[in-house]
Amino acid sequence: MAAPTMDRSTTAAPATPVQTLTISKALNMGLRASMEANPKVIMMGEDIGKLGGVFRITDGLQKDFGEQRVLDTPLAESGIIGTAVGLAIRGYRPVCEIQFDGFIFPGFDQIVSQVAKLHYRTQGKIKLPIVIRVPFGGGIGAVEHHSESPESYFAHTAGLKVVSCSNPADAYWMIQQAIDCDDPVLFFEPKRRYYEKGEVDTTAQPGPLFQSRVLRTGTDATLVAYGPMVRTALDAATAAAEDGTSLEVIDLRTLSPLDLVPVFESVRRTGRLVVVSEAPSESSIASEIAAKVQQECFYSLQAPVLRVTGFDTPYPPSKLEEEFLPDLDRVLHAVDRSLAW
Amino acid sequence: MSSPEQWTHPEPDAAPAATAAKPTAEQVIAGLRATDEGGADLVQLLTPEGERVTHPDFDIDISAEELRGLYRDMVLIRRVDREANALQRKGQLGIWVPLLGQEAAQIGAGRAMRPTDMAFPSYREHGIAWTRGVHPTELLGIFRGTDQGTWDPVEKRFHPYTIVIGNQVLNAAGYAMGQKFDGKVGDDDGEATMVFFGDGATSQGDVHEGFVWAAVYDAPLVFFCQNNQWAISEPTERQSRLPLYQRARGYGFPGIRVDGNDVLATLAVTRWALDECRHGNGPILIEAFTYRMDAHTTSDDPTRYRLSDELELWKLKDPIERVKVYLVRQQWADQEFFAGVEAEADELAENLREFCVNMPDPPAERIFSNVYAEGNPNLEAQRDEFLDYVSGFAGGEH
């Protein structure tokens, strides 16, 4: 990026490039790196300044970059997105935080009607490099509207790009790549995994943003997941291995555009696919994957594509979320059904 | 604690609420009639009869040449509007959104802007487009279905037409915040933004959020509301208990009601408001009190919801006639001038017609172009498959 780097002694590079970080800290460091690299990068959201966001993802950024680059906004999501559009037209690269998944809907109109369509409407004369960060998914024992998985709405909308990170290294790099992208990006963060740790090499060259990735190779069946369900899929593969079943695990990473090339390649070898997602299954990303895989891998499939998802209900009271959310047992049950077909 | 009446009179000394004019409340609420009286707070500098009047807060020093220019603008854009309306009737446009009656509001506001200011229109802003250097031919594609607006919004500082009611108000608030963040606000050379919306839009959440955002960030934004009395079939009284300009007070900035059929008053008030904004004293709400003399669009039938005598009342307040009367009375224009403007209007209409009927349909590839700035391989595959399919017809031609 051509923009000048700001000299900030307090934010000097860490002594060692490889650190063990939580997803939340990795996101925080990624945001900081983007703000340092480009003075046009600004943060917008509710309680993201002094408080550092309810999940502390923007912790310390307002203190170091000022109130004009880290905006505590009025409490209205359409306002956050709608003004981000104007700021982007003015040359800024706004990063909007939606406090919880279920609160994105007041901003839905601006996202779908303006953010997604202005580039098309003007045939490229207006670019909107806006990132909309959404902590999403359940499993935290929260009240209603705090545990939802609305990603399919946005993947269904042309003009938007949609990604989800599942680990600290991806969190650190993907948020920076999303900010660098000239298209609007919905960035879904697995909130119940915020405090899971992993190694992050802050000097490594990251792979492309819009690419899925094989995390574990296997031969008997393929598991595809994204965001918070990647951990569940990996745990399932570990458990299955103890029983002698070899599962391949693919982290989708990008939900729009979908990068299914590694999935097709995998299914052609394993012949079996289980898609895991917290979102309800009707007309979902999981459904789209099933449709595309049957189209591309028709003669390789040994069993129908199975989906392990949240149910087609509103998100239930949290005492029922253990039943609602796909877990290791439900994933393995689906694997068994696939293998027994 | 307080009666509704008090709320409609927020300032103890203020004149009675403007909407307490001629029509009975029952008539208004029944949607049979919109008021034609702007009330005591209406800023007017040129009466419907063409008399120059003074106002304690606003005045304008206008030369003969400037006023002739405003007259020309209004006549030309009215002719464009009538021609486009006719083109729709002939099947050359799918729909048209008439501005008839709102020429003074739009030319007055538009001519108050500087090239460095930014404008965010709704979809009836053909007069604003004209003042931003967007040629009327560039508007036609939207209504013919060949494109969604072809002008360069960055170069013209004129955002694309926004059709979802009120969306553009937030976009404008963000842009104005950017002007401030860029240090372009605070002196005579400052920048400002103006956003255009109608009386119906004032009920939208986005407009209220725009008021809040612009206020708390001190954005250099002029909210220019054209109250043309009708949101398709609903009178302004269905949107608000309070005259619209008085809403500004609740958000903490000034609200002014101007005679939107008076190009001088509109120019004076808007120029003042933009100057306040460029000096850092924004935002400001202007309610241009005007009238939609034609239908909402060419698909609308106003005879179903409003009385025709209301239109007759407003014809007496025509925005162009009063300027013509004044120009003649001042001996600032002669018959040769008026004939010249008419001839220019005829030529413009002829060009518009010629351009419209010759507009080519876009190629099929256009469906897929510029959905993304950085592309999408899945979409490109879908496009290629479709184009391949299309090329299979009629010897490969489509």
Q: Quote the pLDDT of residue B36.
A: 75
Mutating which of B372, B376, B380, B385 best tests the A interface, going by the most A Cβ atoms within 10 A?
B372
Report helix, strand or coil for B51.
coil
B2 found inside a domain: no
* B372/B252 same-domain check: no
- Which helix (H) or strand (E) segment holds residue B198: the answer is strand B193-198
What value of ipTM does the predicted structure carry?
0.94
Q: Which of B178, B216, B379 sits opposite A86 (nearest CB)?
A: B178
Task: Report pLDDT digits (tens) over A141-180.
Answer: 999 999 999 999 999 999 999 999 999 999 999 999 999 9
Residue pair B96/B297 in contact by the 8 Å Cβ criterion: yes
Task: Specify whether the backbone of B149 is left (phi greater than 0), alpha (psi in -120 to 50) or beta.
Answer: left
B274 found inside a domain: yes
Asked if A87's CB is within 8 angstroms of B209's CB, the reply is no
Residue B270: which of B290, B243, B288 has the closest Cα? B288
* B352/B370 same-domain check: no
Beta bridge partners, B366, equal none
Which residues are CB-neighbours of B7 under 8 A, at least 6 positions away? Answer: B241, B242
Task: Report pLDDT digits (tens) over A241-282.
Answer: 999 999 999 999 999 999 999 999 999 999 999 999 999 999
The structure's pTM equals 0.93
Query: Which residue in chain B has the smallest CA separation from A83?
Result: B174
- Which helix (H) or strand (E) segment holds residue B258: the answer is strand B255-259
Task: Report pLDDT digits (tens) over A290-341.
Answer: 999 999 999 999 999 999 999 999 999 999 999 999 999 999 999 999 999 9
* B352/B369 same-domain check: no
Asked if B148's CB is within 8 angstroms of A120's CB, the reply is yes
Task: Round to whole Å and give the CA distance between A222 and A269.
Answer: 9
B344 found inside a domain: yes
Query: How many domains does the structure of chain B reveal?
Result: 2
Is pLDDT at B194 greater than 90 in this prediction? Answer: yes
Residue B393: how many CB atoms within 10 A of its CB?
A: 9
Is pLDDT at A7 greater than 90 in this prediction? Answer: no
Q: Which residues of B122-160 are buried (b: 16+ CB within 10 A; e: fewer)?
A: bbbbbbbbbbbebbbbbbbbbbbeebbbbbebeebbbbb
B134 found inside a domain: yes
Average the pLDDT over B385-389 and give the result: 96
User: Using alpha carbons only, what angle is made at residue A184 by residues B145 and A191, rounded to the nearest 5 degrees?
Assistant: 140
Report helix, strand or coil for A310.
strand
Asked if A106's CB is within 8 angstroms of B205's CB, the reply is yes
B120 found inside a domain: yes
Q: Spell out which residues of chain A touch residue B160, defining contact as CB-CB under 8 Å.
A: 118, 121-122, 126
Task: Specify whether the backbone of B252 is left (phi greater than 0), alpha (psi in -120 to 50) or beta.
Answer: left
Is pLDDT at B10 greater than 50 in this prediction? Answer: no
* B65/B147 same-domain check: yes
Q: Quote the pLDDT of residue B34.
A: 64
Q: Quote the pLDDT of residue B28.
A: 59
Average the pLDDT over B28-54 and give the result: 83
Active site residue B296: yes
Q: Which residue has tokens 């740790």? A: A197
B312 found inside a domain: yes
Residue pair B117/B192 in contact by the 8 Å Cβ criterion: yes
Residue B60: which of B40, B46, B39 has the closest Cα? B46
CATH classification of the domain holding B263: 3.40.50.970
B15 found inside a domain: no
User: Using alpha carbons only, what angle is made at residue B20 by residues B18 and B21, rounded to the nearest 5 degrees?
Assistant: 85
- Which helix (H) or strand (E) segment holds residue B221: the answer is strand B221-227
Burial class (CB in 10 A: 0-12, 13-18, 19+), A140: middle
Report helix, strand or coil for B7.
helix
Report which residue type is found at A184: P
**Residue range of the domain that includes B318:** 36-357
Give the CATH number of domain A213-340.
3.40.50.920
Is pLDDT at B26 greater than 80 in this prediction? Answer: no
Q: Quote the pLDDT of residue A8.
A: 43
Report which residue type is found at B217: Y
| Cα–Cα distance list, B210 to B164, B172, B180, B260, B284 (Å) | 15, 8, 16, 22, 12
Average the pLDDT over B159-171 and give the result: 98
Task: Report pLDDT digits (tens) over A29-79.
Answer: 999 999 999 999 999 999 999 999 999 999 999 999 999 999 999 999 999
Report which residue type is found at B186: G
Task: Round to whole Å and give the CA distance between A248 and B311.
Answer: 73
Residue B46: which of B325, B335, B341 has the closest Cα? B325
Catalytic residue (choose from B292, B306, B322, B326): B292
B255 found inside a domain: yes
* B233/B182 same-domain check: yes
Burial class (CB in 10 A: 0-12, 13-18, 19+), B353: middle
Q: Quote the pLDDT of residue B206.
A: 98
Q: Spell out which residues of chain B touch residue A181, defining contact as CB-CB under 8 Å.
A: 374
Q: Which of A82, A114, A121 sits opposite B209 (nearest CB)?
A: A82
Cα-to-chain-centroid distance, residue A106 = 20
Q: Which residues of B313-347 are buried (b: 16+ CB within 10 A; e: fewer)?
A: bbeebbbbebbbbbbeeeebbeeeebeebeeebee
Question: If you average pLDDT over every residue of chain B, what do you get?
Answer: 92
* B391/B248 same-domain check: no
Asked if B164's CB is within 8 angstroms of A258's CB, the reply is no
Dihedral of CA atoms A47, A53, A58, A62 in degrees, nearest 10, equals 30
Band of pLDDT at residue B25, cut at 50, 70 and 90: low
Task: Round to whole Å and give the CA distance between A129 and A135.
Answer: 20
Task: Report pLDDT digits (tens) over A205-253.
Answer: 899 999 999 999 999 999 999 999 999 999 999 999 999 999 999 999 9
Average the pLDDT over A86-102 and give the result: 98
* B173/B225 same-domain check: yes
Phi, psi of A309 (to 5 degrees): -140, 175
CATH topology for the A19-201 domain: Rossmann fold (3.40.50)
Phi, psi of B335 (to 5 degrees): -60, -35
Is pLDDT at B20 greater than 80 in this prediction? Answer: no
Q: A16 and chain B: CB distance < 8 Å anywhere?
A: no
Asked if A126's CB is within 8 angstroms of B160's CB, the reply is yes
Mutating which of B118, B218, B374 best tests the A interface, going by the most A Cβ atoms within 10 A?
B374
| Cα–Cα distance list, B197 to A2, A108, B99 (Å) | 38, 21, 13
Q: Which of A73, A109, A181 sits opposite B374 (nearest CB)?
A: A181
In angstroms, the first-to-last Cα distance of chain B is: 72
Q: A244 and chain B: CB distance < 8 Å anywhere?
A: no
Beta bridge partners, A267, equal none
Q: Spell out which residues of chain A touch residue B149, defining contact as CB-CB under 8 Å.
A: 121-122
In angstroms, the first-to-last Cα distance of chain A is: 52
Query: Which residue in chain A has the smallest CA separation from B155?
Result: A125
| HEC letters along A212-268 | CEEEECCCCEEEEECCCHHHHHHHHHHHHHHCCCCEEEEECCEEECECCHHHHHHHH
Residue pair B264/B208 in contact by the 8 Å Cβ criterion: no
* B383/B247 same-domain check: no
Beta bridge partners, A213, equal A251
Closest approach of B73 to chain A, Cα-based (Å): 27
Asked if A84's CB is within 8 angstroms of B174's CB, the reply is yes
* B116/B234 same-domain check: yes
Burial class (CB in 10 A: 0-12, 13-18, 19+), B54: exposed
Instruction: Quote the strand ranges of chain A, DSSP E.
Output: 18-22, 41-45, 70-72, 93-97, 131-136, 161-164, 185-190, 197-201, 213-216, 221-225, 247-251, 254-256, 273-280, 306-310
* B239/B372 same-domain check: no
Would you say the CATH fold of A213-340 matches that of A19-201? yes
Is pLDDT at B16 greater than 80 in this prediction? Answer: no
Tokens (6 digits) for B264: 């001088």
DSSP conformation letters of B73-140: HHHHHHHHHHHHHHHHHTTSSS-----TT-HHHHHHHHHT--TTSEEE--SS-HHHHHHTT--THHHH
Provide Rg for chain B, Cα atoms.
Answer: 22
Report which residue type is found at A277: S
Residue extents of the structural domains in chain A: 19-201, 213-340
Residue B183: which of B284, B278, B281, B285 has the closest Cα? B278
* B297/B352 same-domain check: yes
Task: Round to whole Å and give the CA distance between A316 and A197.
Answer: 28
Band of pLDDT at residue A16, cut at 50, 70 and 90: confident
Which residues are CB-neighbours of B178 under 8 A, at least 6 positions away? Answer: A86, A87, A89, A90, A91, A92
Q: Quote the pLDDT of residue A17.
A: 86
